[in-house]
Chain A
Amino acid sequence: MIEYLLLAFGEAIMVLGALGILRFPDVYTRLHAATKCDTGGAMSILIALALMTSAPVLIKLKFLVLAFLIALINPMVSHAIARGAYKYGIKPKVVVDMYAWDNP
C-alpha cells in the first residue's frame, strides 16, 4: 500500500517541478524547481520500486545506491549551472544581490 502512495507522490512532485520550470521568472529560480523536485520525486519513486520488486536484498540495495547517487550528483550539477550562468552575465531578478557587491 505504501509503495503506491510513494509512487503517486513522486509523480505528482515531478509534474509540479516541470510546471515550475515553465512558470518561474529567471534561470536561478527555475533551477530550484529542477533540482529539488527532481531529487525528491526520483528518490520516492526509487524507494517505491525497491519496496515493490520481489528480488533478493542485494538487488534491492541497488535502488538505494541509485537514490544516493542522484542525491549526490543533482545539487552539484545545479550549482555548476547556476555559477556558469552568473559568470556568463545573466542578471538574476532579485531583491538583494550580495554576490554582485563583492564581484563588481
Chain B
Amino acid sequence: MHFYLKEHLEEMRRRVLYEQYRAQKIPVWERIALTWGVLFPFWLIVSGSTAPGNLVIGAITTLIISSFMRDMLTKDIRPKGSVLQKGLYFLLIYAPQLAIIMMFRILESSVKVARNVIFMDINPGIVKIETDLNSDTGIAVLANSITLTPGTLTLDVKRKLGETYLYVHWIDVETLNREDAGEKIKGDIEEWLKKIFW
C-alpha cells in the first residue's frame, strides 16, 4: 500500500513537470528564424541559381511564408538553449550523425530483406512496444525511422493514459517481452530524438 502511494505520487510529479514544460514554447522570433533556416536552402537548391536578384526575392518570400507558418515545424521542439546554440548543434553534430547512420541502416535493411527473399527464413509477428516520446512530430519521425530500420514496419500508434504505444510488424520475431523488443527495435534513435523533440 505504502509503495503504491509512493509510486503514484512520483507519477503525478512527473506529469506535472511534463505539463509545465509542455506549456512553455520557444520565442516567436526563434520559431520564425528556424523555419526560415529550413525554407531558404530549399529555395536555393530548387531554383538552382545564385544571382543577387534571385537571392533577394527568395529571402523576402521565405520570410513572409515563415512568419505565418511558424508553428508548423517548430511546435514540438524542446525549449533549451539559444537559437544559435541549437542551430549549430543541429547542423554540426545531430544532422550528419543521423544522416550517416540512417543511410547505412537503409542499405543494411535492404540487404537483409534481399537475403530474406532468397532464403525465405521468415517468422512474422505483430508486437507492441512503448515509447517515451509524446509529441506528434517526435512520434512521426520515430515511426518513420522504425519502418526504415531492418525487419520492422510500423502498423499503428495508440495513445492511452499519457503513454504512447507503437504496434510493429516484425518479420523475424525474436522476443515477446515488451522492454527487450523495444530495445531491439528502437535502438538508439529514440535517445537522439529525445534531445530535440518532446
Q: Give residues in A with beta carbon < 8 Å to B.
A: 12-13, 16-17, 19-20, 23-24, 28-29, 31-33, 35-37, 39-41, 43-44, 58-59, 61-62, 65, 71-72, 75-76, 78-79, 82-83, 86, 92-100, 102
Inter-chain contacts of B169 with A (CB < 8 A):
28, 32, 82, 92, 94
Q: How many residues of B contact A (CB 8 A)?
A: 44
Q: List the count of A-B residue pairs having beta carbons below 8 Å apart.
A: 132
A76 touches B176 (CB 8 A): no
Report whether A78 and B110 are in contact in the complex, using a CB–CB cutoff of 8 Å.
Answer: no
Chain A residues within an 8 Å CB radius of B125: 94-97
Collect the chain A residues with CB atoms within 8 Å of residue B150's CB. 36
Interface residues of B in 122-166 (CB under 8 A from A): 122-128, 143-144, 147-148, 150-151, 153-156, 158
B113 A17 Cβ-Cβ under 8 A:
yes
B171 CB within 8 Å of chain A: yes
Residues A82 and B127 in contact, CB atoms below 8 Å apart: no
Interface residues of B (CB under 8 A from A): 42, 44-46, 48-50, 102-103, 106-107, 109-114, 116-118, 120, 122-128, 143-144, 147-148, 150-151, 153-156, 158, 167, 169, 171, 173, 176
- Complex alpha-carbon distance, A97 and B110, angstroms: 25
User: From B44, which residue of chain A is reached at the shortest CB distance?
Assistant: A58
Q: A23-B120, A94-B124 are in contact. Are A13 and B114 (CB under 8 A)?
A: yes
A44 to chain B, nearest CB (A): 7
